[in-house]
Every structure is written in C-alpha cells, then in structure tokens.
Amino acid sequence: MSQNESTIDSESESLITTDVQPDTTAESASSATTIVETEQLNVYYGDDQALDDVSIAIPENQVTALIGPSGCGKSTFLRCLNRMNDLIDIARIDGTVTLRGIDIYDDAVDPVALRRKIGMVFQKPNPFPKSIYDNVAYGLKVQGKEITDERIEEALRSAALWDEVKDQLDQSGLELSGGQQQRLCIARAIAPDPDIVLMDEPTSALDPVAASKIEDLIDELVEDYTVIIVTHNMQQAARISDQTAVFLTGGELVEYDDTTTIFENPADDRVEDYITGKFG
Ligand SMILES: Nc1ncnc2c1ncn2[C@@H]1O[C@H](COP(=O)(O)OP(=O)(O)OP(=O)(O)O)[C@@H](O)[C@H]1O
C-alpha cells in the first residue's frame, strides 16, 4: 500500500483502499457514533425518481429499521449503501454516502471491497448449491482470509446455526429449512467480519418460528455489527430496532427518530396515519 492510501479502519486492511482521508473534523467528532451517513441522496431509474433528498445519519452497533409502503424506495436506499445500484444500468445517484466519513462513491473506492465491509442478506434465502461449510468458507475466501475450521465455526455460532449443523457440515446448504438457510446466509455475510449487515426483509419468506429466531439473532448481532433492516412488518420494526426511518411514496424520508418515538409519538401526521394503518 502506498503512503497516501488509507483504509477505512485499521483492522480492515486492504478492504477499501482509497486516497480519501477519513473526515476528522470537529463536526464529524460530534457524531462519533455515526457509521454511515447520506446527504441529499437522490436516486433515479431513468427519468423516475426513487429517492428524494434523503439525509440520514445511522449509528453504529444499533438496529435501524426502514419502513414505508411498497415502492417508496427502501430497497433502493439499502442498495445505495453498498453500491449494489451500480449494477443497475439505468440507476443514477447524486448526493453523498459516507462510511466512517469516507465517500463510498469516490473513484478510489473499490465497490467489491466495499461490499465485503457492508454485507447483505436478502428476502429469499440464497445459499450457494454447495456444502454448509463451503457457503461460509466463501465469505472468508472473497476477503482473502484464511479458511480455518475455527472461523467457520465462529461464523456459524454467531449466526445461531452451529448447534443444528455441526454434524452435517458437508451437507448441501440447499437441504436446510428456509430459516436455517437464512441463518446460513447470515453466517456467510458475517464471516468476513463486515462493519454493517444490510437486511432486505430477511424474515418475510419465513414461518413465524423461523422469523422469531432471526429476530433474536439480530438482537445478538448488534453487539458486533450495525444492522440496517428493511421490513414491512411494523411490529417487527417496533420489536427489534433502535431507530426507525419512515419513507413515504416518492422516496421521501419523512421521519427518522428512535423507534419508541416513531411508534408512540410521531411528529408527522403522515407517519401516524401510516403506522395506524390509515394508508400504505
Ligand atoms: N431496477 C429497477 N429499475 C427501474 N425501477 C426500479 C428498479 N428498482 C426499483 N425501481 C423503482 O423504484 C421505486 C422504489 O423501489 P424500491 O424497490 O426501492 O421500493 P421499496 O420501498 O423497497 O418497495 P417494496 O417495499 O415493494 O420492496 C419503485 O417505483 C420501483 O418501481
């Protein structure tokens, strides 16, 4: 690494290599717990605007829920945070997204490396057609980390799956139940030790028992990771999140506050209407 290059944090050598220096001004110090921040983020698909001037600061080691009616831009927002929208030809963004003060859209940032720091879990569990062991090993391999049995076990334990699969690590991940597959995907996402785990409706394809296990797991994951979760289930947002961001039609972030305030005393009437089921 050359001298003018820096990494997002000292523990994550060679993840995001950029010559952009982290922002260490007083302004950023005052928001020391912010891990990811957007300013005036606008996203367009062709001529259609999906996000409208979204500014938000998301704190570290907490669960932030994104809620709102269908089509209001929640998934689009999530995908902006790890540059998955780069993969959509007609998507265009303006505004800024910073991870620990570094502009993730800077030319010096490698999007593939960024996605290792910001892992993602999708609505439908998507394990690879490989063994349970290899699914998790993949998470290590892409980061160039040594694959050891200890690391595989650690990731599976962190995903609350180890006890159920420890005697069948050679079995295909596809043979697990839906809930187990989703926890395997979480193990794969956390194996490279990311900063943030993005979850796009991770329980909506699961039965209530499996969903409840994932909720318990999220509660444990925030001790080590920041979790940002899109959910259509307002009870779930109320149960598991510390902060809730409410998006409404047109891609506007209407209100963002601690979850208790959003659900018990929202400032915006439209949020109250949405929460109480008057629309959406
Ligand atoms: N790949 C794409 N190409 C074109 N338009 C898109 C694409 N992805 C999303 N959109 C549009 O952007 C808007 C926001 O979609 P997005 O999926 O982000 O909303 P959402 O709140 O996550 O919706 P849902 O809750 O239904 O998943 C919608 O109008 C959608 O049709």
102: which strand partners?
99
- Residue 40: inside a domain: yes
- Residue 17: inside a domain: no
Ligand 1 site, residue 76, Cβ cutoff 6 A: yes
- Residue 3: inside a domain: no
Q: What's the CA gap between 78 and 229, in Å, rounded?
A: 8
* Number of domains composing the chain: 1
Task: Kindly give the distance from the C-alpha atom of residue 101 to the centroid of ligand 1, in angstroms, as a whole number.
Answer: 27
Q: pLDDT for 133-172, tens place per residue?
A: 999 999 888 777 889 999 999 999 999 999 999 999 999 9
Greater confidence (192 vs 129) lies with 129
Supply angle C-alpha 223, 198, 158, rounded to 5: 40
CATH number of the domain encompassing residue 126: 3.40.50.300
Ligand 1 site, residue 50, Cβ cutoff 6 A: yes
Task: Kindly give the distance from the C-alpha atom of residue 201 to the centroid of ligand 1, in angstroms, as a whole number.
Answer: 14
Q: pLDDT for 5-61, tens place per residue?
A: 333 333 333 344 543 344 433 343 344 489 999 999 999 999 999 999 999 999 999
In the predicted model, is pLDDT for residue 223 greater than 70? yes
- Residue 201: inside a domain: yes
**Nearest alpha carbon, ligand 1 atom 9:** 76
- Residue 62: inside a domain: yes
In the predicted model, is pLDDT for residue 239 greater than 80? yes
Q: Which helix (H) or strand (E) holds 132?
A: helix 132-141
- Residue 216: inside a domain: yes
Amino acid at 52: D
pLDDT band (50, 70, 90) for residue 129: very high
Mean pLDDT of 50-75: 97
CA Rg value for the chain: 19
Q: pLDDT for 100-126, tens place per residue?
A: 999 999 999 999 889 889 999 999 999
- Residue 244: inside a domain: yes
For the whole prediction, is pTM greater than 0.80? Answer: yes
Considering only CA atoms, which of 41, 104, 45, 46 is closest in space to residue 71?
Answer: 45
Mean pLDDT (the chain) is 88
In the predicted model, is pLDDT for residue 179 greater than 90? yes
C-alpha to C-alpha distances, 49 to 56, 103, 192, 200, 280, nearest whole angstrom: 18, 22, 34, 20, 19
pLDDT band (50, 70, 90) for residue 280: low
Query: What is the pLDDT at residue 5?
Result: 36
Ligand 1 site, residue 73, Cβ cutoff 6 A: yes
Ligand 1 site, residue 45, Cβ cutoff 6 A: yes
Ligand 1 site, residue 117, Cβ cutoff 6 A: no
| ipTM of predicted assembly, 2 dp | 0.98
Query: What is the pLDDT at residue 277?
Result: 84
Query: What is the pLDDT at residue 23?
Result: 42
- Residue 112: inside a domain: yes
**Nearest alpha carbon, ligand 1 atom 16:** 73
* Closest-lying ligand 1 atom to the alpha carbon of residue 88: 1
In the predicted model, is pLDDT for residue 268 greater than 90? yes
Query: What is the pLDDT at residue 43?
Result: 98
Mean pLDDT of 256-279: 92
C-alpha to C-alpha distances, 16 to 22, 82, 102, 207, 274, nearest whole angstrom: 12, 12, 10, 37, 39
Query: What is the pLDDT at residue 278?
Result: 72
Ligand 1 site, residue 88, Cβ cutoff 6 A: yes
Residue 267 φ/ψ, nearest 5 degrees = -80, -30
**CB distance 229 to 66 below 8 Å:** yes
Ligand 1 site, residue 47, Cβ cutoff 6 A: no
In the predicted model, is pLDDT for residue 69 greater than 80? yes
* Burial group, residue 271, by CB count within 10 angstroms (0-12, 13-18, 19+): buried
Q: Which domain holds residue 165?
A: 34-276
Residue 235: count other Cβ atoms within 10 Å of its Cβ. Answer: 9
Ligand 1 site, residue 70, Cβ cutoff 6 A: yes
